[in-house]
Amino acid sequence: MEFTIEPNETVHRRWLKNAELFPDRDAIIFWKTGEQPFRWTFSTLIQASEKYISFLLSSGVKSGDVCAIIIRHHKDFFPLYIAVSRIGAIPSVLAYPNPRLHPDKFRQGLEGMSCRSGLDWILTELSLKDVISPLISKKESTIKGIFYPLDIDPDNEIIKNAGHQINLKEESEDSPLLLQHSSGTTGLQKPVLLSHKAVLKHAANYASSIQLNEYDKVVSWLPLYHDMGLIAAFHLPLAFGIPSVQLDPFEWVMIPSILLEAIHQEKGTICWLPNFAYNMMADKTRDEELKGISLQSLRLLINCSEPVRFESHSKFEKRFIPCDFNPLSLAACYAMAETTYAVTQTTPLNQPKVLFADRQELSNGRFKLSDNKNSRYCVSSGKVIPGCTVKIVDEEGNDLGNDMVGEIVIKSESMFDGYRNYPEKTAEVLIDGSFYSGDLGFIHEDELYVIGRKKDIIIVAGNNTFPEDIEDAVSSIEGVIPGRVVAFGEYVPEIGSEQVSIIAETGAAEDSIKSKIKLEIIRCGMEIDITIRNVYLVPPRWLIKSSAGKPGRKANKERILGKELAES
């Protein structure tokens, strides 16, 4: 089945075409533990969206309006999202706030987003009414209203007559389709605007790379506010006309084996995962949960978002071979919201190549094969997908060529249209049509190897965290010397992800006071929804300053970890 795009085709037209071509084929299979899966077909999904179209239009939502959708795992999320899009409004899926997050912080985040993205409407659950309502009454707020679409009265006349008089304006291929938020704390996130053309071109190019076909079925627990969940596991199958099984991210993180059960029962063929998920499933699944589970149907298990770890793949392979897992289905890709999603992909049924690289040479900016102790596994993220080009550049933007480490720069047919209302940030990263990713890597024999980031971003279980946000918060704690705090990511091989660690200077000497300060630091992280795993308290003037006069993260991380190692 080839994915061809007609002239000026839109995602909306593709959805309607799929509803006509495959009316009874499953589109979204909604899973909830303890319940029978709910199955939206391509036609029932479109029909259900019409109820919401009537509701949104009668409520004053217009084409071009930005609609934040903040809803937990619910079957009606899908027709609602489609409805927002079909009226020409721009859906932006946001994370439902974690109970740990302080309501004021959540509100501040939404306000920041409203200033940046020009947020017009919020579609959410009644349970957030008291938290979000104060935002509308603010004078400077752009938010025009809040709706609770899951609680619409079914006897409402507008809803009852839905679908009778819908006359929607036809969008063009260049019209904005969706807004997804790139890394950063809520409110400081970068709003990535994608057009219909970008999403369709990406679907066509990526589908050919992964040899997507009509027998494929995607299975995903990924949150839909993340590009991997929204684009790879939702937009791609919906445009292509194949089913997607959607699990609850919160249920998965508590019971990782539900993904295996869904693959087994639904005979899923493709799954995208962040690196930590491989460790989590291998380590946290009980033997009895695997009884009768077969992963035979799986043809692609694609690792993306974080640096791909060889150890994580090995662990997963070893654990699940007894469940008919085919090791050749292990795959990898390199992806980001700014290019819609995928940039590179390994060839299906060929495991990602693994190189043993000399660490010293890598830090000197060059890849060299090695077999000595000071080596590092580098896992390939595959070849560049059609419609994309990749080059590796130095600080001045000069092309470095093969086997040299530098910044990964991308050109793509499915490039974003810039960060919405953020021209200065767009200008920093989008130069002459090339996207400067901030990621470091090298190309070897036509395949891309991603090895790190230029900036000090901490990636915890697929979520990007800026150390500055944590340092600012921790600096305000009583007992911590203001400005004398460093946050950094500590890679934990057992879980296959980084964890947040803090070094803070304090004048406290007594152990009981130090214990209280440590607890306060962890609590402070909780209020901004960040889990701090390790707190290292150090005496005044312990932290090494950078040339800019601030405590340097890299130097202090090396110092504290070296000290811990020496003492262990």
Partner 1 sequence: MISERLKAAILKELKLDDYEFTDETAASQVPGWDSLNHINVILAVEKEYKIRFKNIEILRLRNIGELQDLINSKIQNAH
Q: What share of the chain is helix, strand, coil (3-state, %, to 5)?
A: 35, 25, 40
The total number of residues written for the chain in this structure = 568
Q: Nearest CA to 233 among 148, 185, 305, 324?
A: 305
Q: Nearest CA to 301 among 201, 232, 202?
A: 232
Hey, which residues between 406 and 435 contact partner 1 (CB under 8 A)? Answer: none
Sign of the alpha-carbon torsion through 520, 524, 530, 534: negative
Pick 97 or 243: Cβ nearer partner 1:
97
Q: Provide the minimum distance between the beta carbon of 377 and partner 1 in the complex, in angstroms, as a whole number.
A: 24
Radius of gyration over alpha carbons of the chain, in Å? 24
Q: Is 127 in the site for partner 1 (CB under 8 A)?
A: no
- Which region, judged by CB under 8 A, interacts with partner 1, from 97-105, 328-336, 407-415, 433-441? 97-105
Pick 100 or 368: Cβ nearer partner 1:
100
Q: Is 160 in the site for partner 1 (CB under 8 A)?
A: no
Pick 158 or 255: Cβ nearer partner 1:
255
Lookup result for tokens 């790879």:
232
Q: Nearest CA to 472 among 95, 188, 103, 112?
A: 188
* Cα–Cα distance for residue pair 226/220, rounded to 1 Å: 12
- Which region, judged by CB under 8 A, interacts with partner 1, from 45-53, 95-103, 403-411, 427-435? 95-103
Q: Provide the minimum distance between the beta carbon of 539 and partner 1 in the complex, in angstroms, as a whole number.
A: 21
Q: Is 188 in the site for partner 1 (CB under 8 A)?
A: no
Q: Name beta bridge partners: 537.
A: 504
Hey, which residues between 23 and 62 contact partner 1 (CB under 8 A)? Answer: 33-34
Member of 8, 519, 541, 564 binding partner 1 (CB under 8 A):
519
Residues 25 and 41: beta-carbon distance below 8 Å: yes
Give me the amino acid identity at 99. Answer: P
Q: Nearest CA to 201 among 411, 351, 421, 483?
A: 411
Give me the amino acid identity at 523. Answer: R
- Which region, judged by CB under 8 A, interacts with partner 1, from 129-137, 279-287, 307-315, 424-432? 279-287
Member of 139, 164, 169, 286 binding partner 1 (CB under 8 A):
286
* Cα–Cα distance for residue pair 285/291, rounded to 1 Å: 11
Q: Nearest CA to 388 among 203, 200, 202, 232?
A: 202
Q: Is 454 in the site for partner 1 (CB under 8 A)?
A: no
Residues 133 and 146: beta-carbon distance below 8 Å: yes
Q: Provide the minimum distance between the beta carbon of 127 and partner 1 in the complex, in angstroms, as a whole number.
A: 14
Q: Is 250 in the site for partner 1 (CB under 8 A)?
A: yes
Q: Provide the minimum distance between the beta carbon of 87 and partner 1 in the complex, in angstroms, as a whole number.
A: 34
Pick 187 or 462: Cβ nearer partner 1:
462
Q: Is 131 in the site for partner 1 (CB under 8 A)?
A: no
Q: Provide the minimum distance between the beta carbon of 465 and partner 1 in the complex, in angstroms, as a whole number.
A: 13
Member of 1, 126, 166, 253 binding partner 1 (CB under 8 A):
253
Residues that bind partner 1 (CB under 8 A): 33-34, 98-100, 250-251, 253-258, 280, 284, 286, 288, 461, 495, 515, 519, 522-523, 526, 531, 533
